[in-house]
Structure formats: C-alpha cells, structure tokens
A and B are shown apart, each in its own frame.
Chain A
Amino acid sequence: GIQVEQSPPDLILQEGANSTLRCNFSDSVNNLQWFHQNPWGQLINLFYIPSGTKQNGRLSATTVATERYSLLYISSSQTTDSGVYFCAVPRGGSQGNLIFGKGTKLSVKP
C-alpha cells in the first residue's frame, strides 16, 4: 500500500522563526491533507491540497504531485503553532480512508 513519510520527526523553533515540513508519498494521489494536532489532542484540518499552492495566513502548503511530495511552510512561528503536524492521503479511491504519516512534532519556544 501507499507509504507516507514525514520529516523531520521533531522540530524545535524559537518564536518568530520560519520552518518547512515535508511529506513524501509513495504513489500518485488525488487528495492530500495537512492536519495540526494541538497539545490538547484536537485534530484540525489545515489544507486540502492535492496539487499546487495554498496560503492561509502564516501557513502555506505546496504539493508537487508528479514528484510525490508536499511541503508545509510556517512563517513567523508562534507558541500556538506547537503540536504535531500530519499529512494524510487516501488509501485507494476512498476519500475518507486517510493514511496518516507519523507526523512532525513542532515545539515553538517563547
């Protein structure tokens, strides 16, 4: 089945710094989503981005489907950005049967 790998596994930033998180996937996909799991465990969808680039405030994401990777950019990081960032792709044709990567744990220090 499709494999999803995220890097780095852990990231520590000083508040205000920028960062790039990466997600590689082993097969072509028509759906890729980025989620943020906050320190209280809540999973929040950040982006649905099967291809191209999207921006939402200080966050942006780019997916290059032909090269099977996606990047999540966080600019001017804040302590509230801390948590785990997951990318997820569908298994087969099911849009809901998402396969999650192991995540990148981000800690932003004040």
Chain B
Amino acid sequence: DAGVIQSPRHEVTEMGQEVTLRCKPISGHDYLFWYRQTMMRGLELLIYFNNNVPIDDSGMPEDRFSAKMPNASFSTLKIQPSEPRDSAVYFCASRAAGANVLTFGAGSRLTVL
C-alpha cells in the first residue's frame, strides 16, 4: 500500500495564478479529507468527501477555493486566483468506512508570492 499520495510536494507561484493540488487516497477508503496547516490557524479541515460526494465544505475559506473528486482514486483542490495568504501546507487524508483513524499524505507546501 503506497499510502495517500499528494502532488506536487512543493509549489511556488505568483499571486493571481491558478493552483491545483492533487490527491490519490488509499484504495478502498471511502472518505477523503483536505486539511490546511498554517502557523496562525494550525490544522483545519477544508472539505471532506464520502464516496466521491462532498459532505461538508464549510471550512473552504472562500469562493476562490474549490475541490472535486471525480472518482474514488483522485481528488483535486484548486485555488483560483491564488493570494499570498493561501500559503500553507495542504494535507489530504483518507479513511475507510467504519474506521476511526485517518491516514495523511505527505502534504503539499504552497507558497504564493
């Protein structure tokens, strides 16, 4: 099992550019979560999916953020347009139905200049 796979690991972009972060959950996991980690706010949930359907997106900061899960093995988090305050580490996590433990990916470190 390769675990939760995220890409890119690092992204540096300029303000106003579109950013797309990608995640492949563990095969067979029905739940997928996107978290953001910053020094100021710590780890916070942005959105999560169950069986590819968005369940709770109340943590998505604003309309510039969007997330999709077109199939069980792939999800994207998009920021358009990006701003310097979006700089953070974005984590994807997954878990199986009925399980309690989340498995996190290695994270994508985003820097918006």
Q: A41 — which chain B residues lie within 8 A by C-beta?
A: 89, 106-107, 109
Question: Which of B55, B95, B104, B106 is the most central at the interface, judged by chain A CB atoms within 10 Å of its CB?
Answer: B104
In the complex the two chains form, what is the Cα distance from A91 to B106 in whole Å?
23
- Asked whether B71 is an interface residue with its Cβ less than 8 Å from the other chain, the reply is no
In the complex the two chains form, what is the Cα distance from A31 to B106 in whole Å?
23
In the complex the two chains form, what is the Cα distance from A86 to B48 in whole Å?
20
**Does B107 contact A98, Cβ atoms closer than 8 Å?**
no
**Does A33 contact B100, Cβ atoms closer than 8 Å?**
yes
Q: B102 — which chain A residues lie within 8 A by C-beta?
A: 33, 45, 96, 98
- Pick from B43, B44, B95: contact of A96, CB under 8 Å: B95
Closest to B98 in A: A95
- Binary B-proximity of A39-56 (CB < 8 A = 1, otherwise 0): 011111100100000000
The verdict on A98 contacting B101 (CB below 8 Å), with A41-B89, A41-B107, A42-B106 known, is no
**Does A96 contact B106, Cβ atoms closer than 8 Å?**
no
Least CB distance from A82 to B in Å reads: 18
In the complex the two chains form, what is the Cα distance from A100 to B104 in whole Å?
14
- B-contacting residues, A69-108, CB 8 Å: 86, 88, 91, 94-98, 100-103
Closest to A46 in B: B101
- Pick from A45, A96, A100: contact of B48, CB under 8 Å: A96
**Does A95 contact B91, Cβ atoms closer than 8 Å?**
no
In the complex the two chains form, what is the Cα distance from A98 to B44 in whole Å?
8
**Does B56 contact A94, Cβ atoms closer than 8 Å?**
yes
The verdict on A43 contacting B91 (CB below 8 Å), with A96-B48, A97-B48, A100-B42 known, is yes
In the complex the two chains form, what is the Cα distance from A94 to B109 in whole Å?
27
**Does B45 contact A97, Cβ atoms closer than 8 Å?**
yes
Could you jot down 24 A-B contacts, CB within 8 Å? A33-B100, A33-B101, A35-B104, A41-B106, A41-B107, A42-B106, A43-B93, A44-B104, A45-B103, A45-B104, A95-B95, A96-B31, A96-B33, A96-B45, A96-B102, A97-B33, A97-B45, A97-B48, A97-B56, A100-B43, A100-B44, A101-B42, A102-B42, A103-B42
